[in-house]
Structures are given as structure tokens and as C-alpha cells.
Amino acid sequence: MKLTNYINSSILIVLILCVICFNSFKSISTQLHTILPNSEKKELLEEFNKFKSLKKVFLLVEGLDKESLKKIRNIEKEILKIEGLTRKKTKVNKELKKYTNEYKIFIKSFNKENLKSLNIETKLQEIKSTIINSDFSYFIDKQDPLEILKKNINNQTIDLKNNHLIIKNYAYLSIFNMDSSINSIEQYENIYDSIQSIIVSNKEIKVFSPIFYFVENSRIIKNDVNKIILLSTIVLLFLYLIILRDLKLLVNTLITLASSILLALLLSSLLFKELSIFVLVFGISISTVAIDYMFHHYVHKYYEEKKSFNKDVFLGMITTVGAFFIISFISFDLIKQICYFAIISLVFSYVQFAFLYPKIGFIQKEHLLTEYKVLSKINPSIMIIIALAISIISITQFKFDSNLKNLDINNTKLMQIEQSFNEKLNLQQNIPILIKATSIDDLIKNARLLKKQYPNAHIPLAVLIDEKEFLNKKEFVENINIDSIKSELNQKAQSLKFKNDFFNQAYIYDIPTPKYTKEKIESFGLEIVKFKNYFISYANVEKNKIDELSSYSFVENLSIKTMFEENLISIYKDLILFGFCTIIFIIIMIFLSSKRNYLIPLCYIIFPLSIILSLSFFISFNILHLFMLFIILAISIDFGIYMSSKELNKESYKAILYSLLSTFAGFGVLIFSKINALYSLGIIATVGIVSIILLLIILKRPVNDDKSI
């Protein structure tokens, strides 16, 4: 046995060991943030996700009877056994309560109408009458007995019953916090699985957490990807078994494809901290393009007769790889990852098919497809005119869609559960934002500024007072002569027989300016994070106000959807520019490889382009549609180069048709994906490949074409 027969297998084994050694599969992520560009905003997002107040688990048991109370308490005991979860305390933080009482006159806003119409004697008589006539103890705000400070409006439906949280007139409620150390998808999955094992299938019990989206969407993507890869593998194996009918060649081909994927994964994982799982799926699909290189060498007996260098295959490979190289300059991580993966995979496969396989040697056998008829009726120049007309009409309908829905998972089941909790808790449809500042005092000032502008927003840090507002409020208090009001209050109180010290706590303002440290803020039960030169906190604001917030320099909208769409808009021009450069590069390669028959390969660019653009009548193009469009052009030029070759014969037709079927099997299965990102790639690939097959059948051939095929 020749040693060359084992080289292919040896390379595969070495690559498997390297992938295991470097733990390359660990770098594959199903999270959408992996496709965002590396930036300070992405780093802020990672810090933002550490706020434990944003990561809660809500448990609801319908009913307010004893059975419901018993049920929720039993479930609570089991959930509290899960590492990283603690029950949210309903008690007010003592340190925070002490602080808010001390600085109440500064934290609250003055009710100017009540202040203007203030009648101290009348107000004290009302208080006295209420105390005397009340059957129960009557609460008096001794810090603001005259009610000249604005009161907080509480619209929450949460209450207490049997010393337990309830949603008024509906259900018992429990809220659990997660430790700040819970940040990885593995930890989320552990919590999710543990909770699901506790919660039996019962309509009366509902549980929700924002982290459930991470877990469920991740698993939906994984399951869909696994199905697509399995389907693609089965189709390709079936196709190769029918076409090749050579077990030795089939095994070696599969080994080469597997090796190319592993090498691309290995090197890409070293270049990128995280790889999107979409890259792996696309990489497996793009590896089928490399079969083109094998078929052309095989059917022309390069492996059997040890022929010299195949120029047409080399030019086809260089054109495809060159197109990926140009597109890789687009500053969008998903595109960069796909391009690098594809370049490594295709170059590796070409080297093996072009230089290793002739050393191994394969004898060509009779194939299923020995004779077929083509129409070969339409002249290339006419086809180009038709294609240009279609393109011009289609461009008038072209629309670019930057919405993340084209990459996201539509988890309707979980969205319905979230909506149910929002409705029962009487919550607005809020989204979290990040607030940042270079000092803690400025961070509090920013939080309070937002709270004044958006009073319905949930901004935990806004309960504190910053130094500047404290001093301004102190000046305001002095200007309204609060000492005179206090003096009159005490005089009238004595005349109405109140105790001498009854209102001693009222309107105290001679207190020190507040000073804050990170530790002091945390003692209040509030969260801030130090990040580089910033201190950061968070707020939940109404979704319909998010556009207004862009005017605040200290606000960062860290919604992955928004960040993704902003990045898409920023690279749209780059996408068009480098896409145009790709087309120019392809046209140059056409003239270099097909000097006299350049109209034929030109048809293989313009016609697929026109057919794909015609989809504008039915869909809005997203970034993956456009990306796949340029890739299809890079792939189709291979066939254009082969069809314009001087050595074109019936064997060439076989190789081209086999390659197209293989590529279609690799990319075509993506249209069965439930993930919009993969479907977007699949629909363009399918339409593009079908248009190439159509050209193969109807386009008029060069004079050296052998018609007896």
C-alpha cells in the first residue's frame, strides 16, 4: 500500500486532535451579540449584563386560597436550592430608609400649589380631627405634615397577604434574584433546567425570567442547525454515492471536506474570541463548493492519467477566494468570520484536490449521467440584454431591511408568557438602558434628570440626591423661608394642644452635603459598576420613549437589536462599496481567463444577479441576502470560466452539473431552516444556483462545444 493513501486520513486525525486541544468548539456561540463588532459599546453590554437586578425569576401561582399559598411555598423551597438564586426581600433596606428619611426634603419635589395656598391652622385642625375621630391608628407624615412635598404615585398591583407577595385579586407571587456571578449560557441553562424540573405542567403555575430567552433561543438555534447539518449530510452522501460510485474516492472526498471544516474552525477560533454558530453552518455549506475542484480534475482524468496543472480550476478558485477576501474588509464580525472560514476551507480543499489526489490516484468509473441533451439556443449577448433589463426594473423595487428580525428567533411562546406577567403586574412595555458618568455624583445627577423627564421610568439610583441639586434645593428652601413655616407650625400646634415635640422632625434641612462611595451605594441595596473611566447604572424606560433618549449623551441603548441595526446602517455603504469591488474583480478575472469568449462568463454574473434582484418584488433585502448575493456571483463565475474554456467537452458538462448539484445540496437545504438568518442565505443561494442551471441548459455554447452529449 502506498503511503500517500494515508496522508489524507493522517491530516484529519491531526486536525481533530488540534481542535480538541485548543477546544475550538467552545468558541462557537448561539448568542447574537457575537456578531456585533468589537467596541466599547459591546464591552458595556457585557458589564451591563452583570446587574443582578436585571436578572430575576418570577413565579406565579393562580388563586389566593390556602392551597395556592401552600403550593407556592413548596415550590419556593425547591427553587431556593438552586445555586445562584435567592428570594427577593420585600423589606425596605434599613440604610436606604434612614437616608431617604434624612434627605427627604431634598429628594422630594415641592408641591408649589399646596405651598401657595398653605393655611397651617386649617391643616392642623384637619389632622387633629382625623386623629380624634379615626377608629384605627392614623399615619401622619411627621416630616411633611403640611403636605407641601409631592407624593409618589403607586400604580403597582403588588400587595401582601398572609405575609406573602400577591398580585391583587389574582395570584400569589414570588420574585428571585440571581447572583451577579451568573453570566454564562451554561449557568443560565442550569437554572432554567432546574426550574423546569420543579415546575410541573400546570396551567395555574407560570414562571418567567429574561434569561429564558438566552436558553430557549440558543436551543432552538442548536436544534435547527443540527437538523440542517444532518439533512445536508444525508443529501450530499446520497448524491455522491449516485454520482461517484467509487467508495475510495467518496471516503477521501468526505475526509477532505471534514478536514477543511476542522482547519477553518481551528484557525477562525484563534482569530476570533467567539464564533457565531451561523458561521459553522455556512462553512459546511461553502465547503461543498470545493467539490467543484475535485469533479473537474476527476472527470478529465487528472487523477488517473497524472495530467499537468489545471488552469481553469485554479482561476475559478482564485476568483471565489478573492471575492471572499474583498468582502472580508467589511467591518461586520459575522461577515468577517464567514469570509475567513470560507477562504481557509476552500484553499485547503483545492490544495488537496489539485495536488494530493493525483498522488493517491483514482481510476474513473462509469457514471449515471453519460448522455443528456441541452437546448443551447440563446445567444450570450441577448441573454445579457435580458438580464440587464430585469436588473434595472428590479432595482426600482429594491428595499434594504436592517431589522434584527431577519436574524432573530421568534419565540412566541415565551413572549406570550412575558406579556402575561407584564399585564398582571401592570408594567409598561419597558426596555433597559445604561446610564454612565465619570463620577458617582454625576451618575446620580443623570439618573434624577431622566426621572424628572420620564416619571414612569424605573430608575433605582434616582432615589438619591446629587450634590448640585442638594445645594440648589437648600437655596430654594431658604428662599421660601422654611424656618418661618416651621415656627408657625409649632406655635399653632401648641395652641391646638399637640405635644411639644410632635412636629420636631418636620422640614429639617440643616444637614451635611451627601458624599458617596461605591460601597455606600451598595449598602443602600443599589447597584453601580465601575467600568474603565465610568460608573454605570441602569434604568427601565418605556419602549416608545427610546428614540428620545438618543439626545442624552450619558445614555447608552444596549439593546442588541438596536446595536445591530445601528451597525448595519453604518456598514451599508461599505457593503455596497466592497460588493461593487467584488464584481469589478470578478469581471477582471473574466477577461484574464476568457479573452475571446468573455460574454459567456459575463452571462454567469449578470443573469444570476438579475434573477436574485427580481426577488425585490417579493422581499426586502437584509444584509445576509446581499452578502449571499455577492457569494453566489463569486461561485457562479467558476462555472462561467469553465464554460468559456477552450477545452470544453462533455466531461466538462458532467463536472459542472455534478458541482452544481453538490452546491445546491449544500446551500439549498438552508431554505428549510426556521431561523431567518439561515433561511436568508438559503433562499438567495437556491435562486442563484437554479439560475446557473438554467444558463447551463439554454445558453449558446462556443464553437468548440461538443453537441453530442
For the stretch 598-630, pLDDT in tens is: 888 889 899 999 999 999 999 888 878 888 888
Place of cell 436578572: 55
The more confident residue out of 430 and 669 is 669
**Residue 709's pLDDT band (boundaries 50, 70, 90)?**
very low
CA-based nearest residue to 638, from 314, 300, 301, 353? 314
pLDDT per position as a tens digit, 353-371: 999 998 888 877 665 544 5
Residue type, 188: Y
Please tell me the distance from the alpha carbon of residue 523 to that of residue 337, in angstroms, as a whole number. Answer: 44
**Cα 702-703-704 angle, rounded to 5 deg:** 95
Residue 241 lies in a domain: yes
Residues 106, 473: contact at Cβ < 8 Å? yes
CA distance readout (Å), 672 to 285, 678, 681, 686: 14, 9, 11, 11
pLDDT per position as a tens digit, 79-137: 999 988 888 766 678 899 889 888 988 888 888 888 888 888 888 888 888 777 765 55
pLDDT at position 708 is 40
- Single residue among 164, 183, 209 that ends a domain in this structure: 209
pLDDT per position as a tens digit, 177-207: 888 778 777 888 899 999 998 887 677 888 9
Residues 38, 336: contact at Cβ < 8 Å? no
Place of cell 443528456: 372
Residue 35 lies in a domain: no
Residues 49-55: what's their mean pLDDT?
A: 71
Number of domains in the chain: 3
Q: Is the same domain home to 275 and 290?
A: yes
- The secondary structure of 594-661, three-state, reads CCCCCHHHHHHHHHHHHHHHHHHHCCCECHHHHHHHHHHHHHHHHHHHHHCCCCCCHHHHHHHHHHHH
Residue 543 lies in a domain: no
Residues 34-50: what's their mean pLDDT?
A: 68
CA distance readout (Å), 380 to 63, 341, 349, 460, 600: 75, 34, 32, 69, 6
Residues 209-217: what's their mean pLDDT?
A: 86
Q: Is the same domain home to 589 and 474?
A: no
Residue 162 lies in a domain: yes
Alpha helix segments (H runs only) across 22-58: 40-48
Alpha helix segments (H runs only) across 328-466: 333-351, 357-360, 380-395, 412-424, 440-453
Residues 345, 290: contact at Cβ < 8 Å? yes
Q: Is the same domain home to 174 and 313?
A: no
Q: Is the same domain home to 203 and 219?
A: no
Q: Is the same domain home to 245 and 377?
A: yes
- Single residue among 187, 209, 231 that ends a domain in this structure: 209
pLDDT at position 707 is 44
Q: Is the same domain home to 298 and 374?
A: yes
Q: Is the same domain home to 302 and 176?
A: no
pLDDT at position 375 is 59
Structural domain boundaries, residue 492? 111-148+469-509
CATH, residue 190: 3.30.70
Q: Is the same domain home to 266 and 310?
A: yes
**Cα 350-678-692 angle, rounded to 5 deg:** 55
Highest-pLDDT range among 55-64, 464-473, 499-508, 584-593:
464-473
The more confident residue out of 97 and 700 is 97
Q: Is the same domain home to 388 and 351?
A: yes
Residue 459 lies in a domain: no
Residue 557 lies in a domain: no
pLDDT at position 2 is 63
pLDDT at position 110 is 86
Q: Is the same domain home to 363 and 393?
A: yes
Residues 453-461: what's their mean pLDDT?
A: 87
Residue type, 584: I
Please tell me the distance from the alpha carbon of residue 252 to that of residue 361, in angstroms, as a whole number. Answer: 11
Q: Is the same domain home to 388 and 474?
A: no
**Residue 520's pLDDT band (boundaries 50, 70, 90)?**
very high
pLDDT at position 705 is 47
Element (H, E) at 509: none
Residues 609, 383: contact at Cβ < 8 Å? no
The more confident residue out of 142 and 687 is 687
pLDDT per position as a tens digit, 626-645: 888 888 888 888 778 777 77
Residue 517 lies in a domain: no
Q: Is the same domain home to 65 and 121?
A: no
What would you report as the CA-atom Rg of the chain, rounded to the nearest whole angstrom?
Answer: 35
Task: Please return the burial class of 75, using the count of CB atoms within 10 Å of its CB with bins 0-12, 13-18 and 19+.
Answer: buried
Residue 232 lies in a domain: yes
pTM here?
0.73
Residues 429, 546: contact at Cβ < 8 Å? no
Average pLDDT, the chain: 83
CA-based nearest residue to 369, from 207, 543, 244, 183? 244
